[in-house]
Amino acid sequence: MKKYICPICSFTYDEAVGIEEENIKRETKWEDIPSEWVCPLCATNRVDFLEEKSDIKLNEQVSFSKEDEANTLRVLSIEEMSALCSNLSKGCEKQYRDEEANLFKQLSEYFKNKGDFTKDATFSDLSNFLQKDLDTNYKNAKNVITKSNDRGALRALVWGEKVTRILSSVINRYDKKKNELLENTNIYVCEICGFVYIGEKAPKICPVCKVPNMKIAQVKRR
């Protein structure tokens, strides 16, 4: 019995187990699954799945030049300050410091309203950023952070890269199907890691960070 992994979201098809929810019986061979079948979590095509033993090469070595390393750290942008403050607000909440949590939240909102809304924005602009993240930014970061042995940062990269692949796949699907992609179904976001899911019901646990679905929020249409 073999296993096949979705290259986008890591969903694993195990021949020994099948998929009960989709009436794929136990011990159903990969070859016997119809070619139009797609990943139940992220709708990746069956042909793109990889057999489990195959090495997925992700750690290409790309390094910063010396010149880059010599630069001092830049000041955070307004948008980053907003994200920093909203995360510090969450941090305070977890320490039961409600007053501080509320102040950071207000600060985060202030910065959010100051963001630049003047530039043209399309989903394909987002796609370009996603591609650059996947082609360069995550590789660079992985290279640097693996060397420094920073477990927390490495964890953020592993989840972040998976979610980034999923976002890229969502935009590609939207590009092909347009509004039909969402018309008769729902869309969800994991409030812990940012995983995005399109489907009737949210998965029981987030496939990326494994949080139960009480933390997976439905995004309503307004």
Site for other proteins in 115-174 (CB under 8 A): 115-117, 119-123, 125-126, 129-130, 132-133, 137-138, 140-141, 144-145, 148, 150, 152-153, 155-156, 159-160, 163-164, 167, 170-171, 174
Asked if residue 100 binds other proteins (CB under 8 A), the reply is: yes
Asked if residue 184 binds other proteins (CB under 8 A), the reply is: no
Residue with tokens 């009480």: 214
Q: CB 12 → other proteins: shortest distance, Å?
A: 23
Q: Which of 195, 202, 203, 206 binds other proteins (CB under 8 A)?
A: 195
Asked if residue 39 binds other proteins (CB under 8 A), the reply is: no
Asked if residue 199 binds other proteins (CB under 8 A), the reply is: no
Asked if residue 5 binds other proteins (CB under 8 A), the reply is: no
CB 217, CB 191: distance < 8 Å: yes
Report helix, strand and coil shares of the chain as percent, to nearest 5: 50, 10, 40
Burial class (CB in 10 A: 0-12, 13-18, 19+), 56: exposed
| CA dist., res. 151 & res. 149, Å (int) | 6
Q: Which stretch binds other proteins (CB under 8 A): 5-13, 15-23, 34-42, 81-89?
A: 81-89
CA distances in angstroms from 114 to 104, 105, 118, listed in the order given: 15, 14, 11
